[in-house]
Amino acid sequence: MATDRLTLGVAARLSRYLQVLTQAKKMGKSSISSQAISEYTNVNPTQIRRDLSGFGKFGKRGVGYDIDSLIEQIRKILRTSGQHNIGLFGAGNLGQAIATSGVFADHGFRISAIFDVDPDRVGTMVADMPVRHYRDLQEVVSGDGIMVGVLAVPGSAAQEVADDLVAAGVKIIFNYSDALLTVPSDVTVHTSSPAVELLYALYFYLS
Amino acid sequence: MATDRLTLGVAARLSRYLQVLTQAKKMGKSSISSQAISEYTNVNPTQIRRDLSGFGKFGKRGVGYDIDSLIEQIRKILRTSGQHNIGLFGAGNLGQAIATSGVFADHGFRISAIFDVDPDRVGTMVADMPVRHYRDLQEVVSGDGIMVGVLAVPGSAAQEVADDLVAAGVKIIFNYSDALLTVPSDVTVHTSSPAVELLYALYFYLS
């Protein structure tokens, strides 16, 4: 099974299960039921059991899933075991918040370099790393094997950074700015969109 | 049509179109094609035209959709015209980044109060607002008519804030922390999950 390509839906759900499992582990839990996973993901428990049963017998009736082994199995299935390096662009409030939170590190993503153009920030330490000058992008991306670029820059600067990342061979960009980015079709852009989720929640609340 | 309740899928897609339209407007565009909306949302153009045609004739062949009128129409359909007040919890790096960005304001959400417990932060100005003490939560939430709580607090504090928001009558919580929140079934929690989206992108990149 692990050699077949997952469907979009299965991969998306496994990623969400993995997030909940990682959070539950941090909160000191060692096992979790499909019902509990369901409450945190809004995926129904039957679907969860079906998704997970396809990859082996993790769950025990009345006990639930062993969190450690389930995390390990899902990581293997998603082939995201090991570490993947992130280049973080922007060392302002948002960049500092991202660098110092565990939001990426918990999932095997390591922020290996932080970049800025502001001379007051370049050379300062953020999350135990010196802020690099933006001009070093190409060199650091290839030297560190950076696979993901995270944009915590103003919208007006985002397209330029995206273009330079694409030129340096990066295929996955996570965009926290409000710019619409234009990239080649083999590059994936994820745009952070909390307001969209709120609009959506609000619609159902007001209806 | 506007008096019927939208399906989950339609409401989700309209919210995403609205985000793209808002961004395009900020970038100075006045019209946009279904093809362009498709590139930014990964919804296919036929689906987009179908979603939008249900609500009147916005698009002109060869010209595209008028952005201003489409934004206005979608807001009406989503019944999210007007302003909705947000209470922001945490005035650290992340809270400051959220307060000073347009990420919520662009969509009619106004951060009406910022809270913290740190005496060094309470009373300081963030985004032209004085940081309120956390103990004022109940009073400010009812006084300002706050509908949404945004949590930019450490994971260890998130459940307490969620409990207090629920007690104050807030039904929508946006959680930037890594805590799993337990709330009553009539309360919606959205958890920011950039790492999940990256895992998902990475799987398809590595496959």
The ipTM, to two decimals, is 0.73
pLDDT of res. A4: 67
Cβ contact A40–B180 (<8 Å): yes
Residue of A nearest to B186 (CA): A205
User: CATH 3.40.50.720 region(s) of chain B?
Assistant: 84-194
Distance from CA of B186 to the nearest CA of A (A): 9
CATH of domain A8-77: 1.10.10.10
- Name which of B46, B11, B63 is nearest A204 in CA terms: B11
Q: Closest partner residue to B15 among A40, A96, A200, by Cβ?
A: A200
DSSP codes joined into one string, A77-138: HTT--S-EEEEEE--SHHHHHHHHSSTTGGGTEEEEEEEE--TTTTTSEETTEEPEEGGGHH
pLDDT of res. A205: 73
pLDDT of res. A126: 96
Distance from CA of B205 to the nearest CA of A (A): 8
User: CATH 1.10.10.10 region(s) of chain A?
Assistant: 8-77
Distance from CA of A176 to the nearest CA of B (A): 9
pLDDT of res. A2: 43
pLDDT of res. B126: 96
Residue of B nearest to A100 (CA): B93
Low-confidence stretches of chain A (pLDDT beneath 70): 1-4, 54-61, 207
pLDDT of res. A196: 73
Tokens, residue A29: 């839990």
pLDDT of res. B27: 84
Which residues on chain A are in Cβ contact (under 8 Å) with B6?
203, 207
Helices marked H in B54-193 — which ranges?
67-77, 93-100, 137-144, 155-167
pLDDT of res. B2: 42
Q: Topology of domain A84-194, per CATH?
A: Rossmann fold (3.40.50)
User: What's the pTM value of the predicted model, to 2 decimals?
Assistant: 0.79
Cβ contact A94–B97 (<8 Å): yes
Low-confidence stretches of chain B (pLDDT beneath 70): 1-4, 54-62, 207
